[in-house]
A = this chain, B = another copy of it.
Amino acid sequence: MSAPHTQSKLVAQGPLGTEEARWIRAVKTTYTDPLGVERTWESAERTTRPAGVELDGVGIVAILSRDSGSELLLQKQYRPPINKVVIEVPAGLIDVGETPEQCAVRELLEETGYVGVAEQTSPVMFNDPGMCNTNLHMVHVKVDMSLPENKNPKPQLEENEFIECFTVPLTSLFGEMKKLEKEGYAIDARIGTLAEGIELAKKWKL
């Protein structure tokens, strides 16, 4: 039996009219360059960011800490924009009034069933700032696998969420990403470049 997430199927992909769009919008920015020349730039943004908030969400670097070693918690999730199942970190959009750390602990529990403690928060990072304004904090969450509540984690997924969790030893993350790509999965840049950073540190003995 194949995993549920692999069973999503593309039906159609086509233009989205402005009047029809609810979740994203196209944006035109007019600016002057350093020589004073007026230019325009086209981009996209989410409509879900609460007014006055400058952050969309969090990505979660969840380390499962066991006596036998530390593993990174990852997800497989079908992403309609690219019609592929993507390997990515757990993530979620921030609710009004929530801190990034609260959001990370809540989303981790909802998406994976694990109870964790936020230990560290990255600078705000912009996913593709020439293309869109979406951004996130990476929040590092430690999951103590000796706790009884983490023995048998039960995700609390919404009815439109189909997510499969798995773990990878931190030290072999880059090799695992290459293997998963060969198997037909897409690699999210946030996890791919994290893996590359680990490889750079090894290569240059940092």
A residues neighboring B (CB under 8 Å): 4-5, 7-18, 20-34, 37-39, 41-46, 61, 70, 78-84, 86, 88, 122-136, 138, 160, 162, 170-171, 177-178, 181, 186-202, 204, 206
Number of copies: 2
Most chain B CB within a 10 A radius of its CB, from A128, A186, A188: A128
User: Is A11 in contact with B32, judged by CB distance below 8 angstroms?
Assistant: yes
CA distance in complex: A30, B138 (Å) = 30
Quick check: A127 and B127 within 8 Å, CB to CB? yes
* B15–A25 CB distance below 8 A: yes
Given contacts A24-B26, A206-B198, A125 and B81 within 8 Å (CB-CB): no
Of B30, B33, B131, B199, which contacts A44 at CB under 8 A? B131
Q: A194-B197, A196-B138 are in contact. Are A162 and B42 (CB under 8 A)?
A: no
In the complex the two chains form, is A188's CB within 8 Å of B131's CB? no
CB–CB A128/B124 < 8 A: no
- Provide a sorted-by-A list of 23 A–B residue pairs whose CB atoms are within 8 angstroms: A8-B32, A8-B34, A11-B30, A13-B27, A16-B28, A18-B18, A23-B42, A24-B131, A27-B81, A31-B80, A33-B162, A41-B81, A124-B187, A126-B189, A127-B127, A129-B186, A170-B206, A171-B206, A189-B193, A190-B193, A193-B193, A197-B197, A198-B200
